[in-house]
A and B are shown apart, each in its own frame.
Chain A
Amino acid sequence: MIAKLKRYLERLTFVDIVVQLFGWAILLVAIIGVIGSLHNSYYTKEQWMDFVVFGISQGGVYALIALGYTLVYGILFMINFAHGDIFMAGAFTGYFLAAKLDAYGFYNTHPIISLLLVMLLAMATSVVVALITERVAYRPLRRAPRLVPLITAIGASFTIEYTFRGFYGSGVEAYPELAIVAGKTTVLGVRILKVHLLVIVVSILMMAGLYFYVQYTKAGKAMRAVAEDKDVAALMGVDVDRVIVNTFILGAALAGVAGVLYALIFKQVHFFMGFIPGIKAFTAAVVGGIGNVPGAMLGGFFLGIFESLGPGLILEGLGIPASYQLKDVIAFTLLVVVLIFRPTGILGERLSEEKV
C-alpha cells in the first residue's frame, strides 16, 4: 500500500498538481455556495423538489441522445457530431405528423395511438438520416485517421441542419399540446408535470430496452465483440459493417424518441434545435464515461439535475445575481471537475485507452 502511494507520488508531475489543486478549488467554492444557499433558505422544500424533477426529465432526454454518442464511440472511436441533428430530424418530422393529426382532431381523441405513430415516424426519419450519413460521410473513411471522420461529422451536421432549413424554413414551429399530459399530478408525494412523468417513464423504458438488447441478445453480443476488437470479431465471423449499421440504427432510434419527448416538453421545433442538446448530451456521455452504456444514462441524469439545481444551489449562495444565465457554465464546469478527478468519466473503463 505504502509502495503504491510512493509510486503514485513519484509519477505526479507539476502540471498534475496544479490541475488537482484547481479541481479542489472548484469543489471548495461549490461547497461554500451550497452552504450559503441552504443557509438563506430562500426556497421551500417543494421548490427544491421541483428543481430535481425538472432536472430528471431534462436529464432523461440528454441520456437518450448521449446513448447515441456513446454507442457509436464504443464501436468506431468516433464522435458523431451530427447526432444532435439526427435528433432534430426526428423531432421536426414528428411535428408535421402531430400537427396534421391535431388538425383532424385525431391527436387528442386517440392520444396514445397518435403518440406512438409520431414516435415511430420520428424514429424512422432519424434512422434514415443516420444511415445516409453513415453511408455517405463515415463508411468511406473507415480506415482514415481519426480526425478525418470527426471533421466530416461536423460537415454532416451542417448539411442536415441547412437541408431542413431549406425544406421547412427557419421559423419556430409550435408543437401541438397533448391534452392528456397537460397539467400536474402527484407521485409519491412529489408534484410533477404529467409531461415530465411521461418523459421520465418513456426514457427509462427505452434505456432498459437498450441495456437488455446489448447484454442479452445475439446482436448485442456481436456489438460488444466489435467494440472490443473489430479485427478479431471479423475473424470470428461477425459482419462488422452490419454491426456498425445496427449501432447507428439503435442510436438514431433513441434520438428520434428523444426528439419527440423534447418537443412534448418544450412545444417548439426549429432547424437549429439539435445543436445545444447535442453538445449537452455529448458532455453527458463524457461525464459518464464515453463508450459506456450505463455511463451515458448516468451522465445524462447527472447533468440534467446539476443544470437545474446548480444555479440555485451553488451560485446563489455565492451571491451571484441572475444566476440562471450561468447554467451552461455549471454544466461545463462539472465536466472539467469530473475529468480532473476521473479522466475516463464516472463509469469510464480503463480498457478504452488500451483499445485505442
Chain B
Amino acid sequence: MKKRWFILFAVLLAAVLALSACSQKSTYECTDPYGCINIGPNDPIKMGVAVVLSGPNESLGVDEVGGVEIAVDDFTAANKDWLGKHTIQVVKEDAQCSAEGGQTAAQKLAADKSIVGVIGTACSSAGEPASKILSDAHIVMISPSNTAPSLTDPQTHAECYLRTAHNDKVQGKAVAEFAYNVLGARTMATIHDGSPYAEQLQQVACDVFTQLGGQCVAQEAINVGDTDMRPVLTKIAASKPDVLYYPIFIQEGALITQQAKEVPGLENTVLMGSDGMISPDFVKAAGAAAEGMYLSGPAAVDDQNFNKKYEAKYGQEPPSAFHLHAYDATMMLLDAIKKVAVVDKDGTIHIPRKALCEALFSTKDFKGLTGTLTCNEYGDCADPKINIYQIQDGKYVPVWPQK
C-alpha cells in the first residue's frame, strides 16, 4: 500500500516538473490583470460571432456573418507575414433575436477560454445579457447592429462592449425630424414589441417629436408572435394619427403593414418603420401593402467592391443593412489584436485581455467602410448617418436627406 502512494507521488511530481519546464520555455510573462490568451504555434486565432441565424430575422444575421467572413479574408490576405502559420477561425453561435438566445450564445462563447473577441449580437434584446456575460468573462464584444441607447448608457454599459452601429438617439431624432418637417405630421402614434430596441427607439422618436411641437397620441405595444393586429390598430385609429411609427421586426412589422390598410380610420396615416425591417424578406412578407412606406436606417454606402466580394462568396447580394458595420467591427477587432499581441520566438501568440479591451476603446479615426470610426468611453464607435428610405417597386430607395 505504501509503495503505491509513493508511485503516485512520484508520478505527480514528475508531471509538475514537466509542466513547469514547459512554461519556462516561454519568455513571455502575463501581467495583464484579466489574464492572457495563449495561442500555440499551430493553433488558429479564434473569434466568436453571435448573431441571429434562425427564425424570421435570419437575413439580418446572414448579412453580418458575410461581413465578418469577408473581413477575415481581407485581413488574412493583408497580414500573411504576421499571422505565419496561424489562421483566423470564426466560431458561429445563434444568438437569435431574444434575451434567452443572447444569454445562451454568450455563455457558450464565454466557456471557451481561447475565444479572443466576439462580433455580435444582431438584436439589442440579445445584446443586453450577452454584453454583461462576455464582459464578466473579460471577452471584448463589438456589435454591428445593436442600436438601443441603453447598451452604451453610462449607467448600464458593460465594460468591454462596443458597437459600430449607430445609437438610436440619432435614429429616433432623424425619424421625428423627417415626420415633422418633411411629412408635415403633427400627430404620431407608435407601436413597439417590448424589445429594448423597439421600446427605446419609439420613445426617443416620441420625445423629439414632442419637442419639435408635435404630439404623440398613442404609444402601444404588441408581443412578438402576435398575429391579429387589428384590435390594436383600431384603438390607434380612434386618435387618427398623421404618422404611425413601428420600429419592430420583420414578421410582426409585415402584419401591421398589411392590416393597417384594412382598419377604418387609418386611411390617411403614413406608415413608418426602422432598420429592423430593412430586408427583402420584409417586402416579401408584407407584399403590396409595403409600397410607399418609409423606413429609417443606416445610410446606404453603396460599396461596389464589397458587394462584388459578397456575391462571389455567397452567390447573392448582401440581404440586409449591416454587413459593412460587421466588416468594420471585425477589422477593428483584428487590428487591435495585432496591436496588443506579443509573438514568441516559437510562434506562440499571447494576447493580454485588458490591453485588448483598452486598445479598442482608444480606437481613433479608424478608416472603415461605414465612415471614420472613433470610439467614446462608453463604446459608441459609429460615424452615424441615417437615411430615410421609401419602398418603391419593392426596393428601398433613399429619399432623405437629399443629396
Contacts and interface: CB of A to CB of B under 8 A. Distances in A.
Interface of A: 42-44, 46-47, 50-51, 54, 58, 170-174, 177, 184, 191, 193, 262, 265-268, 270, 272-273, 275-277, 307-309, 311-312, 321-322, 324-325, 327-328
27 contacts: A42-B238, A47-B238, A50-B263, A170-B58, A171-B58, A172-B56, A172-B251, A172-B284, A174-B254, A184-B262, A268-B254, A270-B251, A272-B55, A273-B227, A276-B225, A307-B228, A307-B231, A311-B231, A321-B219, A322-B219, A324-B231, A324-B232, A325-B194, A325-B221, A325-B223, A327-B223, A327-B231
Q: Which 8 A-B residue pairings sit nearest by Cβ, starting from the closest?
A: A322-B221, A325-B221, A324-B232, A172-B285, A54-B230, A174-B287, A308-B231, A266-B227
A275 B55 CA distance: 14
Nearest to A309: B231
Nearest to A266: B227
A275 B228 CA distance: 15
A326 to B, nearest CB: 9
B220 interface: yes
A314 to B, nearest CB: 13
Given A193-B262, A277-B227, 7 more contacts: A171-B281, A172-B250, A172-B285, A184-B262, A268-B255, A324-B221, A324-B235
Contact of A266 (B221, B238, B255, B264): B255
B95 interface: no
Q: Which one of B220, B235, B254, B262 has the highest number of Cβ atoms from chain A below 10 Å of its Cβ?
A: B235
Contacts of B58: 170-171
Given A268-B254, A324-B231, A177 B226 contact: no
A170 B254 contact: no
B235 A312 contact: yes
B268 interface: no
B137 interface: no
A50 B263 CA distance: 9
Contacts of A173: 284-285
A322 B220 contact: yes
Contacts of B254: 172, 174, 268
Given A170-B54, A172-B281, A325-B194, A54 B228 contact: yes
Interface in B224-257: 225-228, 230-232, 234-235, 237-238, 250-251, 254-255
A173 to B, nearest CB: 8
A177 B262 CA distance: 13
Contacts of B250: 172
A50 B238 CA distance: 12
A307 B228 CA distance: 10
Contacts of A324: 220-222, 231-232, 235
B57 to A, nearest CB: 9
Interface centre among A265, A322, A328 (most CB of B within 10 A): A322
A164 B258 CA distance: 25
A229 to B, nearest CB: 40
Contacts of A54: 228, 230-231, 234
B229 to A, nearest CB: 8
A170 B56 contact: yes
Nearest to B228: A58
A266 B227 CA distance: 7
Contacts of A172: 56, 250-251, 254, 281, 284-285
A267 B225 contact: no
Contacts of B288: 177
Interface string B43-80: 00000000000111011000000000000000000000
B370 to A, nearest CB: 27
A185 to B, nearest CB: 12
Which of A177, A266, A270, A276 has the most chain B CB atoms inside 10 A of its CB?
A: A266
A268 B237 CA distance: 23
Contacts of A277: 227
Interface in B264-318: 264, 281, 284-288
A321 B235 CA distance: 12
Interface string B180-223: 00000000000000100000000000000000000000011111
B133 to A, nearest CB: 25
Contacts of B54: 170
Given A193-B262, A322-B220, A174 B235 contact: no
Nearest to A175: B287
A275 B54 CA distance: 16
A316 to B, nearest CB: 8
A38 B338 CA distance: 67
Nearest to A176: B287
Contact of A50 (B222, B258, B264, B287): B264
Contacts of B281: 171-172
Contacts of B231: 51, 54, 307-309, 311-312, 324, 327
A24 B284 CA distance: 48
A171 B223 contact: no
A267 B257 CA distance: 11
Contacts of B234: 43, 47, 50-51, 54
B173 to A, nearest CB: 23
A324 B286 CA distance: 22
Contacts of B220: 322, 324-325
A276 B234 CA distance: 22
Contacts of A193: 262
Nearest to B219: A322
Contacts of B255: 266, 268
Given A172-B250, A325-B223, A267 B238 contact: no
Nearest to B225: A276
Contacts of B263: 50
Contacts of A42: 238
A307 B229 CA distance: 11
A322 B251 CA distance: 20
Contacts of A50: 230, 234, 263-264
A248 B141 CA distance: 51
Contacts of A276: 225, 227
Nearest to A58: B228
A133 B226 CA distance: 28
Contacts of B284: 171-174
Contacts of B237: 47
A165 to B, nearest CB: 8
Contact of A177 (B232, B238, B264, B287): B287
Contacts of A308: 228, 230-231
Contacts of B55: 170, 272
A275 B59 CA distance: 22
Contact of B238 (A43, A171, A268, A322): A43
Given A54-B231, A321-B219, A267 B258 contact: yes
